């Protein structure tokens, strides 16, 4: 008897440089795949160089394919908040520009509602010294980054 493939869903997050974000999501049980890429801009098929010019409007993002029977979207949101500083606008640490913005691109109304609720709870928690700057927007076209960006830290053996 042939096994049915695992049902999966897609989530897309921008939290600064995608190398560490991709690596962090890959470590979560229930994450089936994580792909570095670009979303939210005005140019079709952008290159890394074009995105880094901060002229295309794209963010560096990670598309996360996950099994909702193992990991909930809410757990992905919790991980997202922990892996970056969501109070920084258009930057993460030394990386400055709109391509490094904190953004949640939702794929369904349920994801939008969960993201808005999670953001409001984080803002109200008192854990952060500034308001959350993370944008919550409908998922636009996702463009996978060049091959050398995929599993970048894993290939290089580096931390983030």
pTM: 0.91
In the chain, % of residues over pLDDT 70: 94
b vs e for 35-66, b when ≥16 Cβ sit within 10 Å of the residue's Cβ?
bbbbbbbeeeebebebbbeeebbbbbbbbbeb
CATH classification code of 9-155: 3.30.1060.10
The residue extents of the domains of the chain are 9-155
Catalytic residue among 17, 61, 64, 122: 17
b vs e for 101-125, b when ≥16 Cβ sit within 10 Å of the residue's Cβ?
bbbbbbeeeebbebbeebbeebbee
What does the pLDDT look like over 63-88, one tens digit per residue? Answer: 999 999 999 999 999 999 999 999 99
Rg (CA), the chain: 15
Q: Tokens for 31, please give them.
A: 């994450």
52 is catalytic: no
Q: Tokens for 141, please give them.
A: 């076209």
- For residue 147, name the pLDDT band (cuts at 50, 70, 90): confident
What does the pLDDT look like over 14-34, one tens digit per residue? Answer: 999 998 999 999 999 999 999
CA distance linking residue 87 with residue 30, whole number of Å: 27
CA distance linking residue 6 with residue 63, whole number of Å: 18
Name every residue whose Cβ is closer than 8 Å to that of residue 70 and which is 6 or more positions away in sequence: 29, 30
């Amino acid at each position: 008897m042939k096994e049915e493939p695992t049902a999966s869903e897609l989530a897309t997050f921008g939290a600064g440089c995608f190398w560490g974000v991709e690596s962090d999501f890959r470590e979560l049980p229930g994450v089936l795949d994580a792909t570095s890429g670009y979303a939210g801009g005005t140019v079709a098929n952008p290159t890394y160089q074009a995105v880094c010019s901060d002229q295309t409007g794209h963010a560096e993002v990670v598309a996360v394919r996950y099994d909702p029977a193992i990991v909930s979207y809410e757990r992905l949101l919790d991980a997202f908040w922990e892996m970056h500083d969501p109070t920084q606008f258009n930057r993460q640490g030394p990386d400055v520009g709109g391509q490094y913005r904190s953004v949640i691109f939702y794929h369904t109304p349920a994801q939008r509602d969960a993201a808005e609720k999670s953001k409001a709870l984080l803002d109200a928690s008192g854990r952060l010294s500034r308001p959350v700057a993370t944008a919550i927007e409908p998922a636009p076209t996702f463009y996978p980054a060049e091959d050398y960006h995929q599993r970048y830290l894993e290939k290089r053996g580096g931390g983030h």
